């Protein structure tokens, strides 16, 4: 029955929250969770829907729809980013909040899971309009967030400057300094050294550990990166510097580029900064996102949005390791195909957990007003990501399941234990 449901999700619906629930269902069955616990963990604990009126530069008022979902806080304050995206949906926010719950649990930090978003296209907003929208969002959620309640962070199309505006608005509303209410802030106002590349760096550490257990020498091997935003660009840099990989293809929303001899990270980044896209890079051939995903590489980094590897194209994936820096890039039906093909998948809420881990470090530093240098952040991130990788890998070996199911088994068990100890269920 579950396989039929998953196939339906993969082939027809592709609803992120339905996928998140199907993944939980499989873990609950293996863990033999009590039915009451299973039902409780399937749904968000709290949701907030609101409208944000914004005075535009031309004098008119534009009304935006926003969301904040606090999925589960049994293990600690909720934690999760805020997206500004024109195609945002409440089901995407629910799914991402669920994945944040499992993500904080799998890396064993004392936080729960949340997510927020606004339906907008920030690319068409002026800096002053973007500031008004950011402050308006915080005005709507201020009573529900705080270092002991829920701590937002940047996500798609949001950045440290937006976090700075939101933190400042919170302090205007409450009348006191609380820098830990937001993470991903600029260093000058309480940000953490090492946060900028943390998502990619954490993923690179898991690739390194995967290569060890698979007995693979990564030096000189080919890699491809689908999605060339913050995580994708840092993955390009760190895959080269730390692992010795040769990145032969990268892509963004407009298309991709390929050069069998490898792509220079500085040149590609400069080209994207100048033109707005990686396409038409003079030292590479243009390819599609679909072609990039199907290249024969050692490591594939899906680093964009959800549902790019589905049942439709999973059999055409030829990577040895798929390292999911994006949230939800692989559907459950595709997972089964990749597992049967022997492809080693580093699931999203393990692979990209470096960001929330360093956000947690930022909260800790804000709380006691003492800040670490970048080397200490990286050392402690390495320890957390390495321990999380081996917890998941060992669970997969013991239970004879794929890595995503194993990550769910580790995370869901930890959240269920906390829920049970609190006496909620």
Confidence of residue 7 (pLDDT cuts 50, 70, 90): very low
Q: What is the predicted pLDDT for the residue at 46?
A: 98
Selected from 1.10.10.10, 3.40.50.12280, 1.10.260.40, 3.40.50.10860, the CATH number assigned to the domain covering 2-23+46-180 reads 3.40.50.10860
Could you give the CA distance from residue 154 to residue 158 in angstroms, rounded to a whole number? 5
Confidence of residue 19 (pLDDT cuts 50, 70, 90): confident
Q: Given a cut of 50, is residue 206 above it in pLDDT? A: yes
The pTM (predicted TM-score) of the whole model is: 0.92
Which of 334, 389, 378 is CA-nearest to residue 206?
389
Could you give the CA distance from residue 348 to residue 12 in angstroms, rounded to a whole number? 22
Q: What is the predicted pLDDT for the residue at 125?
A: 97
Q: Given a cut of 70, is residue 2 above it in pLDDT? A: no
Is residue 212 annotated as a catalytic residue, yes or no? no
Could you give the CA distance from residue 130 to residue 126 in angstroms, rounded to a whole number? 6
Give per-residue pLDDT as tens, 178-195.
Answer: 999 999 999 999 999 999
Could you give the CA distance from residue 340 to residue 69 in angstroms, rounded to a whole number? 35
State mean pLDDT over 149-153.
97
Q: What is the predicted pLDDT for the residue at 10?
A: 40
Helix 403-422 and helix 374-399: axis angle, to 10°?
100
State mean pLDDT over 24-43.
97
Q: Given a cut of 60, is residue 143 above it in pLDDT? A: yes
Q: What is the predicted pLDDT for the residue at 224?
A: 98
Could you give the CA distance from residue 387 to residue 390 in angstroms, rounded to a whole number? 5
Token couple for 256: 């991709």
**Which one is catalytic: 79, 103, 115, 246?**
115
Token couple for 332: 């459950």
Confidence of residue 28 (pLDDT cuts 50, 70, 90): very high
Cβ 141 vs Cβ 173: under 8 Å: no
State mean pLDDT over 206-216.
98
Q: What is the predicted pLDDT for the residue at 307?
A: 86
Q: What is the predicted pLDDT for the residue at 423?
A: 98
Tell me the pLDDT of the chain averaged across its residues: 94
State mean pLDDT over 133-155.
96
State mean pLDDT over 42-61.
98
Which of 151, 214, 195 is CA-nearest to residue 354?
195
Token couple for 302: 């899906």
Confidence of residue 13 (pLDDT cuts 50, 70, 90): low
Which of 30, 84, 68 is CA-nearest to residue 410?
30
Q: Given a cut of 80, is residue 8 above it in pLDDT? A: no
Q: Given a cut of 50, is residue 255 above it in pLDDT? A: yes
Q: What is the predicted pLDDT for the residue at 6?
A: 42
39 φ/ψ angles, rounded to the nearest 5 degrees: -60, -45
Domain 198-351 -> CATH class:
alpha beta
- Do the first three CATH levels of 2-23+46-180 and 198-351 match, i.e. the same topology? yes
Give the 3-state secondary structure of residue 257: strand
Give per-residue pLDDT as tens, 311-360.
Answer: 999 999 999 999 999 988 998 889 999 999 999 999 999 999 999 999 99
Residue whose structure tokens are 């669970």 = 395
Which of 78, 224, 241 is CA-nearest to residue 144?
78
Ranges assigned E (strand) in 235-292? 246-252, 255-258, 285-287
Confidence of residue 418 (pLDDT cuts 50, 70, 90): very high
- Give me the residue spans of the domains in the chain: 2-23+46-180, 198-351
Give per-residue pLDDT as tens, 384-402.
Answer: 999 999 999 999 999 999 9
Q: Given a cut of 70, is residue 3 above it in pLDDT? A: no
* Residues 6 or more apart whose Cβ sits within 8 Å of residue 147: 77, 178, 180, 181, 363, 366, 367
Find how far residue 93's CA is from the centre of its chain.
12
Q: What is the predicted pLDDT for the residue at 332?
A: 86
Dihedral in degrees, nearest 10, Cα atoms 14, 28, 104, 416: 140
Q: Give the bridge partners for 80, in sequence order.
A: 152
Q: Are strands 78-85 and 150-154 parallel, antiparallel or unpaired?
A: parallel
In the chain, what percentage of residues exceed pLDDT 90? 92
260 φ/ψ angles, rounded to the nearest 5 degrees: -60, -25
State mean pLDDT over 363-369.
95
End-to-end CA distance of the chain: 26
Residue whose structure tokens are 């998941």 = 392
Could you give the CA distance from residue 213 to residue 222 in angstroms, rounded to a whole number? 19
């Amino acid at each position: 029955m579950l396989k039929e449901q998953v196939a339906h999700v993969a082939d027809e619906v592709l609803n992120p929250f339905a996928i998140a629930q199907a993944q939980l269902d499989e873990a609950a069955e293996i863990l033999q969770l009590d039915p009451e616990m299973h039902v409780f963990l399937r749904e968000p604990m709290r949701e907030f829907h609101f409208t944000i009126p914004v005075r535009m530069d031309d004098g008119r008022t534009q009304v935006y729809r926003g969301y904040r979902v606090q999925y589960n806080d049994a293990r600690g304050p909720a934690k999760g980013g805020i997206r500004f995206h024109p195609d945002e949906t409440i089901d995407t926010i629910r799914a991402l909040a669920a994945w944040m719950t499992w993500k904080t649990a799998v890396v064993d930090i004392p936080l729960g899971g949340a997510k927020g978003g606004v339906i907008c296209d920030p690319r068409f907003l002026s800096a002053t309009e973007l500031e008004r929208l950011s402050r308006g969002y915080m005005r709507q959620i201020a009573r529900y967030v705080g270092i002991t309640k829920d701590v937002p962070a940047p996500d798609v199309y949001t950045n440290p400057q937006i976090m700075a505006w939101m933190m400042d608005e919170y302090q205007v509303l409450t009348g006191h300094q609380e820098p830990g209410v937001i993470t991903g802030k600029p260093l000058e106002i309480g940000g953490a050294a090492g946060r900028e590349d943390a998502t990619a760096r954490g993923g690179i550490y898991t690739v390194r550990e995967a290569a060890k257990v698979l007995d693979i020498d990564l030096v000189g091997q080919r890699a491809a990166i689908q999605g060339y935003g913050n995580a994708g660009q840092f993955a390009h840099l760190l895959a080269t510097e730390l692992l010795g990989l040769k990145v032969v293809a990268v892509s963004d929303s407009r298309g991709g580029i390929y050069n069998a001899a490898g792509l220079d990270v500085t040149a590609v980044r400069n080209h994207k900064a100048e033109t707005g896209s990686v396409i038409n890079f003079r030292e590479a051939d243009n390819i599609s996102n679909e072609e990039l995903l199907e290249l024969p590489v050692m490591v594939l980094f899906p680093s964009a949005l959800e549902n790019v590897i589905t049942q439709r194209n999973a059999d055409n994936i030829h990577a040895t390791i798929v390292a999911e820096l994006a949230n939800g890039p692989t559907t459950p039906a595709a997972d089964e195909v990749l597992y049967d093909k022997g492809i080693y998948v580093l699931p999203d809420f393990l692979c990209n957990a470096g960001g929330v881990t360093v956000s947690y470090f930022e909260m800790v530093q804000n709380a006691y007003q003492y800040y670490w240098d970048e080397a200490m952040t990286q050392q402690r991130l390495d320890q957390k990501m390495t321990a999380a990788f081996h917890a998941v890998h060992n669970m997969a070996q013991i239970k004879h399941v794929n890595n995503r199911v194993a990550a769910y088994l580790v995370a869901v068990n930890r959240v269920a234990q906390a829920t049970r100890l609190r006496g909620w269920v």
